[in-house]
Amino acid sequence: MPDDFAQPLSAADVSEYERNGLLLREKDILTEGEIQNLLAVIPEVLDTRGPEVVLERDGETVRSVYGVHRTFPAVRDLVVHPKLIGAVRQILGGDIYVHQSKINIKAAFSGDQWEWHQDYINWLRADGIPRPSLINVAIFLDEATEFNGPLMFIPGSQRMGLLPGADRAGMPASYEDAPSWVDTLTADEKFKVDRDTIRTLAEKDGLFSAKGGAGSALFFHSNILHASLPNISPFDRKVLILVYNLVDNAPGDVDTPRPDFLAERSPVALVPRNGEEVTHE
């Protein structure tokens, strides 16, 4: 690996990721200043209007805002953070780019669920990505606790490949007039993983709840089975998710390409910014 790429993960960290399909790092990836840079853009994110914004089923609460690394300088700078790029390269072993980015809001009292799902099946079908060589990096923007709908995983489930299930018929309720690509972004998951499979895997390998303070970094595989409960607590649970992919695993030809804010179709290998912390006014 070139000398200009950091290697923040130990051999044990990489082994843990390969075994469990996830790795949670608290307080040693981002500085406090970098966390504050991200938090400062949240009001503007919540004010965003346009097709990149997906609302909850109530038609009012913001569920997700996509393509945030294209729009907000603080996120764009984070994408090329030396420790993030270094960690992802340690796991994937090659040149990477950001295929997708989003901020999931999970608002207090009204943030809806994410049903049990695997991410890769959507990137395979909708974007033509040939291999599941993608990593989600979730940066916690609030403390994630047992009360505000933290991400849940079945460790090791990524080793099972694409799991059996079936597609939901039609557009989900409350989204009938939305563009077709919204179909995979709502609380009513399009591809329903077989419940007997979920139960069998959970009984065998247990569940992991990803809890931690703001600034925690969670790396997880594109095929790991995961979900989150509705947030009925009075505390938000916002998270920034950067989806890194290998440049040689870029999207292929599909009948109806998704918008650029959902799927980067012209990848360029990322290089890390210098180690100095960037401040945004």
Q: How do 151-153 and 217-221 pair as beta strands? A: unpaired
Q: Is residue 280 part of a domain?
A: no
The predicted structure's pLDDT at residue 274: 76
Confidence of residue 4 (pLDDT cuts 50, 70, 90): low
Q: Is residue 99 part of a domain?
A: yes
One-letter amino acid for residue 179 of the chain: P
In the chain, how many domains are there? Answer: 1
Among 267, 158, 278, CA closest to 208: 158
Instruction: Say which residue the tokens 């992919």 belong to.
Output: 245
Q: What is the pLDDT of residue 280?
A: 39
Which pLDDT does position 235 carry in this prediction?
Answer: 98
pLDDT of residue 5: 83
Helix-strand-coil split of the chain, %, nearest 5: 25, 20, 50
In angstroms, how far is the first alpha carbon of the chain from the final one?
35
pLDDT tens for 147-191 read 999 999 999 999 999 999 999 999 999 999 999 999 999 999 999
pLDDT band at 275 (very low <50, low <70, confident <90, very high): low
Whether residue 28 is contained in a domain is answered as yes
Report how far residue 41's alpha carbon sits from residue 48's, in angstroms, rounded to the nearest whole number: 11
How would residue 27 be classed by pLDDT, with cut points 50, 70 and 90?
confident
In a domain, residue 111? The reply is yes
Region 73-91: what's the mean pLDDT? Answer: 96
Residue 23: CATH number of its domain: 2.60.120.620
In a domain, 220, yes or no: yes
Is residue 257 in some structural domain? no
pLDDT grade for 58, boundaries at 50, 70 and 90: very high
Q: Taking 90 as the threshold, does the pLDDT of residue 278 lie above it?
A: no
> What sign does the dihedral 3-251-41-216 (CA atoms) show?
negative
Residue 1 lies in a domain: no
Helices (H) and strands (E) in the chain, counts: 8, 13
The Cβ of residue 221 has, within 10 Å, a number of other Cβ atoms equal to 27
Q: Compute the C-alpha angle 181/186/190, nearest 5°.
A: 70
Identify the pLDDT of residue 279. Answer: 39
What is the phi-psi region of residue 113: left when phi exceeds 0, alpha when psi lies from -120 to 50, beta otherwise? beta
Dump pLDDT digits (tens) for 181-225: 999 999 999 999 999 999 999 999 999 999 999 999 999 999 999
* Phi, psi dihedral angles at 268 (to 5 degrees): -125, 130
> Which residue segment(s) compose the domain that 117 sits in?
11-173+188-249
Is residue 53, in this structure, part of any structural domain at all? yes
pLDDT of 255: 95
Provide the pLDDT confidence category of residue 281 given band limits of 50, 70 and 90: very low
